[in-house]
Amino acid sequence: MNLVEFKNVSRIYKTGDHELKALDNVNLTLKKGKFVVILGPSGAGKSTLLNMLGGLDSPTSGKIFINQKDISTLSNNELADYRAKTVGFVFQFYNLIPTLTVHENVSLVKDIAPYALSATKMIEEVGLIDHLKNFPAELSGGEQQRVSIARALAKNPEILLCDEPTGALDSKTGVLVLKLLLKMAKSYNKTIVIVTHNQNIAKMADVVVKVKNGKIISNEDQQNPALVDDIDW
């Protein structure tokens, strides 16, 4: 069964008289439990695709089905519930709440996600059990991204959406974060979608979707994805 299905999805941004087609009649299906990488240069439309998938934005035309449910027509509140239950986000710039501690940043999802996992356990799994009471500003970039992963997974979502998760990190830390993402996704059996312009990350994926000028130019399964350690970063 398809987890994700995009049917003729377009997204047009209007500024004054200008129209920008960020997505142009996109059709895409993704299966459950896969590690998907959406690859493309800046401005290709890959983040727009991810935002549609995450319920942060709605299509100008076309339909998006998640578990066969159309999310393109949901109201604001229904979209908020969808984000709370179905997807977890990991951003390039972590987006932690600076006034909350590590533990609080992760456990805040308990208020909204019905099947939330233990925040402490998640933090322990990302290796930050000693930093429970620290504020984000007291952590390194890599550590902050690990908190962000813990927060995304604590909601126990079906899909983990990552927008350039290693974009703000040095390559060594980036590798560690990727390893962690893969490990966590495997052990919790999550579908993971990463948006990046980094070709190396694509080598690890089960599915690589290439995007250019708002269109999908290829959607290929990789039979033998590379291991993180085998890739020359």
Q: Where are the alpha helices (DSSP H) in the chain?
A: 46-53, 76-85, 102-107, 119-125, 141-154, 171-187, 199-202
CB-based contacts of 161: which residues, under 8 Å, 6+ apart? 50, 53, 54, 87, 88, 89, 90, 193, 195
Size, binding site for another protein by CB under 8 A = 39
Q: How far is the CB of 89 from another protein (least distance, A)?
A: 5
Give the residue among 132, 121, 195 at the shortest CA–CA distance from 156: 121
Q: In whole angstroms, how far apart are CA 78 and each of 64, 88, 166?
A: 14, 16, 30
Q: In whole angstroms, how far apart are CA 157 and each of 66, 88, 172, 225?
A: 12, 6, 28, 24
Q: By CB under 8 A, name the one of 12, 100, 132, 226 that touches another protein.
A: 100
- The answer to the question of residue 196 lying near another protein (CB under 8 A) is no
DSSP 141: H
Which of helix, strand or coil describes residue 184? Answer: helix
Q: How far is the CB of 21 from another protein (least distance, A)?
A: 16
- The answer to the question of residue 74 lying near another protein (CB under 8 A) is no
Pick the closer one to another protein by CB: 153 or 208. 153
Q: By CB under 8 A, name the one of 113, 159, 177, 185 that touches another protein.
A: 113
- The answer to the question of residue 188 lying near another protein (CB under 8 A) is no
DSSP 188: T
Helix (H) or strand (E) holding 39: strand 35-39
Interface region with another protein, contact rule CB under 8 A, candidates 61-69, 111-119, 172-180, 204-212: 111-119
- The answer to the question of residue 93 lying near another protein (CB under 8 A) is yes
DSSP 139: S
Q: How far is the CB of 203 from another protein (least distance, A)?
A: 26
- The answer to the question of residue 85 lying near another protein (CB under 8 A) is yes
Identify residues 2-61 at the interface with another protein (CB under 8 A): 47, 51, 54, 56-57
Q: By CB under 8 A, name the one of 84, 117, 180, 216 that touches another protein.
A: 84
Question: Hey, CA dihedral for 86, 156, 116, 49, is it positive or negative?
Answer: negative
- The answer to the question of residue 131 lying near another protein (CB under 8 A) is no
- The answer to the question of residue 112 lying near another protein (CB under 8 A) is yes
- The answer to the question of residue 137 lying near another protein (CB under 8 A) is yes
Positions in the binding site for another protein (CB under 8 A): 47, 51, 54, 56-57, 76-77, 80-85, 89, 91, 93, 95-101, 104, 107-113, 133, 135-138, 151, 155, 168
